[in-house]
Chains A and B, each alone.
Chain A
Amino acid sequence: MYHKTTGYRVFSVFNYLFLIIAGLLCILPIIHILAVSFSASAPANAHLVGLWPVGFNFDSYTKTMNNPNFSRAFVISLIRTVLGTAITMSVITLAGYVLSKDSSVLKSRNIYAWYFVFTMLFTGGIIPSYIIVRNLHLMNTIWALVLPGAVQVFNMILLMNFFKATPKELEEAALIDGAGHFTILFRVYLPLAMPAVATMSLFSIVGNWNAWFDGLLYINNYRNYPLATFLQTIIVQQDFSKLNPDVNELKNISQRTVKAAQIFIGILPVLLVYPYLQKYFVKGIVLGAVKE
């Protein structure tokens, strides 16, 4: 039928071509930066590198890894990501479980639900948040990075919906066996909600790793910056004033190949978790976006 018409065949060829180009456009910039990072600095500075390294070497990576500021920021980012994800997941799992209960089980369930939903509609914005974090004496601590965004209400609601879909018979059977709410959550609900928990953990990992603005806002000393904030100041703002006025270090940082290496190391963790993330998130997004 229509598959066999000449017009459709011509369209198909162009369609495949167009989709290939669109797909490539999304990763070519990353391949370009990777090629620059492995190139010698002379061809890189002369902008002779396209998608393949010119004068292949690892210098930029050795320099980056030997830069104590970079490795410290990297470690801080790792700690922040682990801590932030652990806090977010514990908090939203516990709360999502409770909110999945009927209001006949917990009378105040709807009050709690509105308490959280309200903050999705109204927020104080950056300045009041900044003042609160300062008044709570969290400035310059890792807590200023992981606590303010810990309660992710949207993910909490998604988890709640997952828990709601768990067969009630399982819970009743556990109740008869004398299980409390903590046992039911950890032994019955959580194992069944693993796909949802995995999706949200991966989102939280990527979110924590990528976050940079809170570091700029709440951390005054560049020595405590997480990696994304550190790279934001030196790659994007080109502001070296916050670093040691060490001439050698400045010389290293301003090299194009080193910058490229820093960017690539910065996105590497995301590239590593992306295959796992991608497997799950389509379902999660569709669940939240399309309703029958």
Chain B
Amino acid sequence: MKGFLRRTWPLHLMLLPAVVLQFLFGYLPLGGLVIAFKDYKPYDGIWGSAWVGFKQFKFMFEYPDSKQVIINTALIAGLKIIFNIVVPFCFALLLNEVRRNSFKRTVQTLVYLPYFISWVFLGGILTDMLSSDGIINSLLQNWFGIEPILFLGNGIWFRVIVVISDVWQQFGFGTIVYLAALAGVNPSLYEAAEVDGATRWKQTINVTIPSLAPIVIVVGTLAIGNILNAGFDQIFNLYNPLVYDKGDIIDTFVYRTGILNGQYSFGTAVGIFKSVVGFVLIVIGYRIAYKLADYKIF
């Protein structure tokens, strides 16, 4: 045993920084979750505060705002999941028809870019462009004579903008996976189809789409776990009190009630609800992906 440790101590030493950091910022907060079952007062500390059992959770389900927040979250996230699969998929199919490689690369470079820009800056650009006298509204007015629309001040428009701008930011990046899968399709399948006289459209329907089906199933089922992740960064940088009723999602709600209003225990309880639902859905999605497409993580 001693000789064994003598040989492996450098390995343990190498792991030490990661282990310590992960303990402090990964595991200690897990312990902090007990405050969801307490009435946490910063002055009394985590252990000094009184136990209240499931009071915070009961409160969450009775509180009318939280129902609306859960609906908003699932609706926005659901729409994002659907469009973030469909749009990159179609885009990859179209890009795949391009045979000029320099053109293909240029388009890819352009469409990946928004993914790397923070929602702080994108939010700043969008709120400017979408304001009542912003460039979008002036174009609409000059070209089509449409009266200015309060894109970010109207709940329904807000949801539309949130979904569209999210797809805009992400579709280029999402395309990568499908392009890679397209490159892996066996060329002899196309050759055979061509010998049989299939048009390009027929080849797409009968060869390309069936070949990509497994990867679409994997991406789709694994995305189910994100049904309560509607995108904190984006919403927080686009919303305002006018659209809280239609645009508030669990994460922004937790930040406002939990941190800004100091209701730490309640906010944590809502956060736990989100994590548990998310985890259950990840496991279910993983099972389905494994059954339908034989997908394994490790």
Contacts and interface: CB of A to CB of B under 8 A. Distances in A.
A128 B200 contact: no
A127 B117 CA distance: 26
Interface string A33-47: 100100000000001
Classify chain A's interface size: 35 or more
A95 B26 CA distance: 16
Contacts of A119: 22, 26-27
Given A29-B126, A95-B14, A256-B128, A127 B264 contact: yes
Classify chain B's interface size: 35 or more
A185 B107 CA distance: 39
Given A94-B17, A95-B15, A236-B120, A26 B138 contact: no
B61 to A, nearest CB: 18
Contacts of A95: 14-15, 17-19
Given A1-B194, A127-B271, A290-B177, A32 B129 contact: yes
B127 to A, nearest CB: 7
Nearest to A232: B120
A150 B24 CA distance: 11
B8 A105 contact: yes
Nearest to B46: A131
A23 B11 contact: no
A136 B24 contact: yes
A125 interface: yes
Interface in A1-55: 1-2, 5, 7-8, 11-12, 15-16, 18-20, 22-27, 29-30, 32-33, 36, 47, 50
Contact of A129 (B14, B18, B29, B282): B29
A27 B268 contact: no
A178 to B, nearest CB: 13
B162 to A, nearest CB: 15
B95 interface: yes
A141 B200 CA distance: 60
A115 B176 CA distance: 31
A80 interface: no
Interface stretch (B65-73, B74-82, B252-260): B252-260
B97 interface: yes
Nearest to A49: B135
A26 B111 contact: yes
B24 A116 contact: no
A181 B15 CA distance: 12
Which of B11, B33, B176, B180 is the most central at the interface, judged by chain A CB atoms within 10 Å of its CB? B11
Contacts of A121: 279, 282
Interface of B: 4, 8, 10-11, 14-15, 17-19, 21-22, 24-33, 35, 42, 46, 91, 94-95, 97-98, 103, 106-107, 109-114, 116-118, 120-129, 133-135, 138, 168, 172-173, 176-177, 180-181, 184, 194, 199-201, 203, 215, 232-233, 236-237, 251, 254-255, 258-259, 264, 267-268, 271-272, 274-275, 279, 282, 295-296
Given A106-B8, A270-B118, 20 more contacts: A2-B194, A11-B200, A26-B113, A26-B168, A29-B126, A97-B14, A105-B8, A112-B15, A115-B22, A122-B275, A123-B29, A128-B29, A129-B29, A131-B32, A132-B24, A147-B21, A210-B117, A213-B232, A263-B125, A285-B177
22 contacts: A11-B200, A15-B97, A19-B98, A23-B110, A26-B113, A50-B135, A105-B11, A112-B15, A124-B32, A132-B25, A133-B25, A148-B25, A151-B25, A180-B10, A211-B118, A228-B118, A259-B124, A278-B112, A282-B176, A289-B177, A290-B177, A291-B295
